[in-house]
Amino acid sequence: MGNASDASDAFVSTISREHDVIMGSLYTVFCTLSLMGNGVLLLVAYRKRLSLKPAEFFIVNLSISDLGMTLSLFPLAIPSAFSHRWLFGEVTCQVYALCGVLFGLCSLTNLTALSLVCCLKVCFPNHGNKFSASHACFMLAGVWSYACVFAVGPLAQWGNYTVEPYGTACCIDWRAANHDLSALSYIGCLFLFCYALPCIVIFLSYAFILLTVRGSQQAVQQHVSSPQSRTTNVHALIVKLSVAVCTGFLGAWTPYAVVSMLAAFGDADSIPPVAFAMAAILAKFSTVYNPVVYLLCKPNFRKCLYRDTSSFRQRIGRGSPQPDQKEHFGSSLQCKDNKDASVSTRFSNGQPESYGACLDYSDDGSQCPQATPKPTASILTKSTYREVTVCGLPARLQADFL
């Protein structure tokens, strides 16, 4: 009975009811925005799935992991925050903590892998142009495996999962490092390999990217028709993505990492529970931040989204097009999407990010058919006429016209 009472007391919120209401309200907003943002990003990716580049697989995977965190954590955290206590028992607490660590580490590791791929394609284009969809899938499998190792560790007695210090959610038992050697080694490895190392890799990757792009202006000018404007656009896009990704990474996870390390290696009792609550809120905000960054900063994603919303508005305002119009409309969208993909980003060697994609060539490498004008002839029939191409006439009539 005493153990049951102690467990029940651990699930009672240790922050004020007003703070819990604020947390529940923010989580509700985050959940709604995350579902919308990640849902739209996945919809855009599905619509342009035939022209997705291997590097964009990581953006899709990031959206999947953020959506997994949203669906597994917020439905449990929101009612618990409003109820001023954890509502779902010990077993669900363990599952909640497992999902939080799994999807959180997957997002962070995914950002790290994406920065490495971008660095490879920009700084080492001879190797980057060989990066294929199979390479991307192999790296994504590694991302999930890497996250799974640390997520499953506490279930295998390497570390522990328990209720958060503020009482309405569950995560790693940070305080166990003060008296448990296994927990100490787990938390140390977690900080080193899942925070410090990704930070270093991300910053070094984008630093190399910026240095390479700034030093390659002359090479870019040899491959584009308007060198200065093209190079300026490349610089602006790279800088935006670099600053956005690094700011989001640090802004979302640094407060939680700092508070957790202080609790693990310092005096845990000196850290107020509300500090853990605020750090958790910032970490969960990454589920909203990541899709917004890529929808706004990736030109081909943004153009595809704008095109789809414009098409949707037109269908509502004018009704659905005829079947033959739909087919023609779809083919024009695909062609535009390929063009967007080919001119959206150019790298240090002057080649587009979708090197080999269809501007004058199709995805399989064959030359795209060019729309060249064909001679036509008017055939008069009493008071009406119609135009046909000369090559569509019988040979005898072709000779007369030509």
- Return the pLDDT at 312: 62
Q: List the domain boundaries for the chain.
A: 2-307, 374-402
- Return the pLDDT at 391: 55
Contacts (Cβ under 8 Å, ≥6 apart) of 377: 387, 388, 389, 390, 393, 401
- Return the pLDDT at 266: 84
H/E stretch holding 355 = none
- Return the pLDDT at 365: 42
172 phi and psi, to 5 degrees? -70, 145
Name 388's bridge partners. 377
- Return the pLDDT at 152: 95
DSSP state for residue 381 in the 8-state scheme: E
**Are 199 and 249 within 8 A, CB to CB?**
yes
Q: What is the dihedral of CA 345, 348, 350, 353, to 10 degrees?
A: -30
Q: Could you give the CA distance from residue 178 to residue 180 in angstroms, rounded to a whole number?
A: 6
- Return the pLDDT at 351: 44
- Return the pLDDT at 80: 95
Averaged pLDDT in 10-residue chunks for the chain of 402 residues: 53 92 95 92 86 87 93 95 93 95 92 87 84 93 96 93 92 89 93 91 86 67 54 58 73 89 86 92 87 72 70 64 45 42 40 38 43 50 49 54 44
Report the amino acid identity of residue 212.
T
CA distances 258 to 66, 96, 107, 266, Å, are 22, 22, 19, 11
Contacts (Cβ under 8 Å, ≥6 apart) of 94: 155, 161, 170
Count of CB atoms situated within 10 Å of the CB of 106: 25
pTM, rounded to two decimals: 0.73
- Return the pLDDT at 319: 56
Superfamily of domain 2-307: Rhodopsin 7-helix transmembrane proteins (1.20.1070.10)
**Are 280 and 169 within 8 A, CB to CB?**
yes
Tokens representing residue 24 in the block: 């529940």
- Return the pLDDT at 128: 81
Name 352's bridge partners. 346
Contacts (Cβ under 8 Å, ≥6 apart) of 287: 30, 34, 38, 66, 67, 69, 70
- Return the pLDDT at 355: 38
- 3-class DSSP state for residue 85? strand
